[in-house]
């Protein structure tokens, strides 16, 4: 129980603490700061085994403050400046940085630092997921579909570049804002996706990551200079998806296909928030991939049943999405939609056009789609064969069991 609380707080507070300490110490001490925050949570893990504090969040804040003072004293270049830290002006400044509005401001600065153009795009993503959202190296590797040692190297290069380029802990100038914001939105999008459809072997859903993505979107939208149609559309998209989380698994913690989901469990307040965000997205001239993905999500949400889903409209949105940003996942989704419309020839052509290796850790979706194709065509033997391939490529236990259940059902047909 204590470990679950630590894990939850780590996810929600790691980024906050790193941002506050960096704002106080400066980016030149980023590695020491990350180590200090990590130490705080290790200490929590050890001490809370004996007794859980009455207010764990307050405990973490206090320990982080104390650890900050230790850091100040240990950094020789800062030693004279902070000799009287326990009663000086620096202590007052530090306390002020732990106020809610200052925490948000520090995190916003951290988001844009992580997406600085001096960092390569893949370094920006890895560094953002690590520093802002508290992902482990393993989680980042899963989210970005790459190896752990590659992520470790990207993080090291990012930290080195930040120090060598003397990147400042501040917001980008107006002329750079659009490009930096695009990268920030991609980080939020990836964070949410890893929560909504996790590559983790044990958990299909990671609500803390979904919540983190929503939280980051909300603090960006609080600032008028960051508001765009794309940001509102992204917020709508993740709220639409998050509203469906209660229906994705049943009481036995089994995966439930969208066809069988109890739509009365979908969270109406989040759907309303998403609808409002979509309306606001239309106030702006920019058009992004998030507009089209949110439109697709909305079609699923507004359908009263799976059978009444407007698949033709969804296909049109996927085609627009593919025009704006080509992706093998768009092609796969268009194949899936064509199957729902019983357009078997079109679905087969789309599936054959996909280079399966490009789907990386989601290759099982390709084989599952081919299984659906053969099942609908009445070729159960071929469907079972493709399900076996899908099962062998699936990293998540719940999805594997779901596919095994489908395979067993097909094998039981006369």
Nearest to 78 by CA among 129, 32, 41: 32
Q: Which percentage of the chain shows pLDDT scores above 70?
A: 89
> Which of the four pLDDT bands, split at 50, 70 and 90, describes residue 202?
low
257: number of CA atoms within 13 Å, CB side?
10
Question: 323-356, pLDDT tens digit by residue?
Answer: 999 999 999 999 999 999 999 999 999 999 999 9
Length of the chain (residues)? 414
Residue 360: is its pLDDT beyond 60?
A: yes
Write the CA distances from 105 to 87, 152, 169, integer angstroms. 25, 28, 11
User: In the prediction, which pLDDT does 412 show?
Assistant: 84
Nearest to 168 by CA among 225, 217, 219, 118: 118
Residue 116: is its pLDDT beyond 70?
A: yes
Question: 42-65, pLDDT tens digit by residue?
Answer: 888 788 877 888 888 778 777 877
Residue 12: is its pLDDT beyond 90?
A: no
Average pLDDT, the chain: 86
Quote the pTM value: 0.84
Based on C-alpha coordinates, what's the Rg of the chain?
24
State residue 283 phi and psi, 5-degree precision.
-75, -15
Residue boundaries of the structural domains of the chain: 1-98, 324-414
**Which residues in 213-240 are b (16+ Cβ under 10 Å) and which e?**
bbbbbeebbeeeebbbbbbbbbbbbbbb
CATH architecture designation of domain 324-414: Alpha Horseshoe (1.25)
> Which of the four pLDDT bands, split at 50, 70 and 90, describes residue 86?
very low
What single-letter DSSP state applies at residue 412?
A: T
| CB-based contact 267:214 (threshold 8 Å) | no
State residue 249 phi and psi, 5-degree precision.
-135, 155
User: In the prediction, which pLDDT does 220 show?
Assistant: 94
Which residues pair with residue 249 across a beta bridge?
Answer: 255
Average pLDDT over residues 155-168: 93
> Which of the four pLDDT bands, split at 50, 70 and 90, describes residue 87?
very low
- Sign of the Cα pseudo-torsion (117, 326, 211, 202, in order): negative
User: In the prediction, which pLDDT does 301 show?
Assistant: 97
Residue 144: is its pLDDT beyond 90?
A: no
> Which of the four pLDDT bands, split at 50, 70 and 90, describes residue 85?
very low
Question: 246-295, pLDDT tens digit by residue?
Answer: 999 888 888 898 999 999 999 999 999 999 999 999 999 999 999 999 99
Q: Which percentage of the chain shows pLDDT scores above 90?
A: 50
CA distance 172 to 189: 21
Angle, helices 363-376 vs 397-411, to 10°: value is: 20
Nearest to 113 by CA among 212, 194, 15, 189: 15
Structure tokens at 411: 């094998």
> Which of the four pLDDT bands, split at 50, 70 and 90, describes residue 41?
confident
């Amino acid at each position: 129980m204590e470990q679950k609380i630590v894990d939850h707080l780590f996810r929600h507070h790691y980024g906050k603490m790193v941002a506050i300490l960096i704002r106080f110490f400066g980016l030149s001490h980023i590695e020491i700061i990350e180590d200090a925050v990590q130490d705080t949570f290790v200490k929590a893990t050890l001490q809370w085994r004996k007794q859980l504090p009455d207010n764990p969040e307050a405990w973490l804040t206090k320990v982080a403050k104390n650890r900050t003072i230790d850091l100040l004293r240990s950094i020789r270049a800062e030693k004279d400046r902070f000799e009287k830290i326990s009663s000086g002006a620096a202590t007052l400044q530090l306390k002020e940085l732990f106020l809610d509005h200052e925490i948000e401001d520090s995190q916003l600065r951290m988001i844009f630092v992580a997406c600085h153009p001096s960092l390569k795009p893949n370094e920006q993503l890895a560094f953002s997921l690590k520093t802002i959202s508290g992902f482990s190296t393993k989680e980042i590797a899963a989210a970005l579909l790459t190896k752990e040692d590659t992520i470790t190297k990207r993080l090291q290069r990012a930290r080195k570049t930040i120090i060598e380029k003397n990147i400042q802990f501040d917001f980008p100038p107006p002329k750079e804002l659009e490009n930096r914001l695009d990268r920030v939105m991609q980080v939020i999008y990836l964070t949410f996706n890893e929560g909504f459809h996790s590559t983790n072997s044990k958990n299909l859903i990671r609500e803390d990551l979904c919540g983190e993505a929503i939280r980051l979107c909300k603090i960006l939208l609080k600032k008028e200079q960051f508001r765009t149609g794309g940001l509102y559309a992204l917020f709508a998209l993740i709220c639409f998806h998050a509203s469906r989380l209660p229906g994705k698994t049943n009481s036995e913690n089994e995966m439930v296909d969208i066809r069988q989901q109890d739509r009365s469990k979908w969270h109406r307040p989040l759907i309303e928030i998403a609808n409002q965000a979509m309306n606001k997205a239309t106030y702006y001239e920019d058009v992004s991939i998030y507009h089209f993905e949110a439109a697709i999500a909305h079609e699923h949400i507004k359908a009263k049943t799976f059978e009444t889903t407007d698949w033709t409209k969804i296909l049109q949105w996927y085609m627009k999405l593919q025009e704006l940003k080509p992706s093998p996942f768009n092609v796969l989704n268009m194949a899936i939609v064509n199957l729902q419309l019983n357009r078997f020839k079109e679905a087969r052509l789309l599936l054959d056009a996909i280079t399966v290796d490009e789907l990386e850790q989601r290759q099982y979706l390709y084989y599952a789609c081919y299984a659906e194709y053969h099942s609908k065509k009445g070729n159960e033997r071929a469907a079972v064969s493709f399900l076996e391939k899908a099962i062998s490529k699936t990293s998540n236990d719940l999805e594997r069991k779901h596919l095994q259940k489908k395979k067993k059902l097909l094998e039981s047909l006369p």
